[in-house]
Structure 1
Amino acid sequence: MPQQPAPTRQRILDAADRLMRTIGLARVTTKEIARASDCSEALLYKHFASKEEIFVAVLQERLPALGPLLAELTADAGGRDTGQCLIDIARQAALFYEASTQIGASLFAEPALLERHRAALRELDAGPHKPVLALAEYLRRERTAGRIRTDADPDAAAAMLLGACHLRAFLAHFTGQPPPQSAEAFAAGLAGTLMAGLARQ
């Protein structure tokens, strides 16, 4: 029995993911994505309103799931150990930035395109600041619940954890060398160090 072709939306995201990784978000066009997914550009626009919407869908559906984990913790951490939660977040963030940094880096070479991309992400209520805000909100709740120090700064702690994960990915892509530690080892060390400063005295 012949194998059925993948649904159009799935083919579009598969092609977009591949092209954004190889030629960069700034250079890839919806026409190229449509051609690579074996559909017309008109059909592509029936599934996605813009290239930016495709980009957000790729981040949400093709990369390690950072957003859903943060959303779950922000909604209800369920009394889980804060240190373990931070390890889980750091591991997912390390993997997410490893996969996504290369995709968006080319935007910074074209200021006009970057501004258009920013405007589109604002309309979609998306952007790189969202994980930082979500993690800060989780830490704020942990502080209110008395599980971390009352004088802890959730915004600074969120920026430190996610910033370190992003820097790890940037350095690996820039140098062309794999990170010196696995995502698991890096996450455990990073979360442990952060918790040493956040833990109640």
Structure 2
Amino acid sequence: MEQKPTRVRIVDAARDLMRTAGLARTTTKEIAKAAGCSEAALYKYFASKEELFLTVLDERLPRLGGLLGALAADPGSRTVEENLTEIARQAALFYEESFPMAASLYAEPQLKARHEEGMRRLGAGPHKPVEGLTAYLRTEQRLGRVGADADPRAAAALLLGACVQRAFAYEMTEDGRPPQSLDDFARSIARTLMSGLG
């Protein structure tokens, strides 16, 4: 069996370790070892753990950022509600995957501060999806498909906040699952939001 390229092995190992140990507890040394390469080889591809984390988010998790960027540039032929349904679906999946990775940072304030500084240098952070969805909704507003008096930023925060909530709110319940399927959740969030955006 042919071995995967080094960069692919590094990103896969980072995803697996960050999922199980969290971002705060995963070191580049552990990632390199799991990828079967040296730590120096890892740094040939990635300047920092933050850059590697962003690569994992972009390449190994549901494509939220790409979807938001594409819709802001060209809303396409679907209705706003159909687009919001797809955004809610992808966002819920994205946060379900990424929340366990990043949650460990909140237990270590100094590490969290270093991570946040690194993300700022890279022009990234958890505010980016809100900005992307806000840009999409403003595009729809200019096209007259969202009401002129609607607040795109508030709508973006409501939709994405619901998706974040879904990612962790039900783990303590008896069966550990949300009360709605992912598709039902996405449709109901989009339909409810549309009543305020119309």
In structure 1, stretches of 5+ residues that fail to align are none
Q: Residue in 2 aligned with 1:180?
A: 179
User: 130, 143, 146: which one pairs with 2:144?
Assistant: 146
Q: Residue in 2 aligned with 1:59?
A: 57
Question: CA RMSD for the aligned pairs?
Answer: 1.1
In structure 2, stretches of 5+ residues that fail to align are none
1:109 Cα deviation from its structure 2 partner: 0.5
Asked whether 1:95 is paired with 2:93, we answer yes
Check conservation: 1:102, 1:173, Cα contact below 8 A.
no
| 2-structure distance, mates of 1:131, 1:119 | 18
1:88 Cα deviation from its structure 2 partner: 0.5
User: 38, 44, 47: which one pairs with 1:46?
Assistant: 44
1:78 Cα deviation from its structure 2 partner: 2.7
1:80 Cα deviation from its structure 2 partner: 2.8
1:37 Cα deviation from its structure 2 partner: 0.5
User: 62, 80, 83: which one pairs with 2:81?
Assistant: 83
Deviations 1:87-120 (A, max 9, x none): 0100000111111100000000111111111111
The one-letter amino acid paired with 2:140 is E
| 2-structure distance, mates of 1:130, 1:54 | 17
TM score, norm. by length of structure 1: 0.95
Deviations 1:21-41 (A, max 9, x none): 111100110000000100000
Distance 1:174 1:25, change over 3 A: farther
* Count of aligned residue pairs for this structure pair: 197
TM score, norm. by length of structure 2: 0.96
- The DSSP-based 3-state class of the residue aligned with 1:178 is coil
- The DSSP-based 3-state class of the residue aligned with 2:26 is coil
Deviations 1:37-77 (A, max 9, x none): 00000000001011111100000011011011001001111
The one-letter amino acid paired with 2:101 is I
Once the two structures are superposed, the pairs formed by residues 90-169 of structure 1 within 5 Å of their partners are 90-169=88-167
Check conservation: 1:97, 1:169, Cα contact below 8 A.
yes
Which 10-residue stretch deviates more, 174-183 or 118-127? Answer: 174-183
The one-letter amino acid paired with 1:87 is T
Check conservation: 1:90, 1:165, Cα contact below 8 A.
yes
| 2-structure distance, mates of 1:14, 1:140 | 36
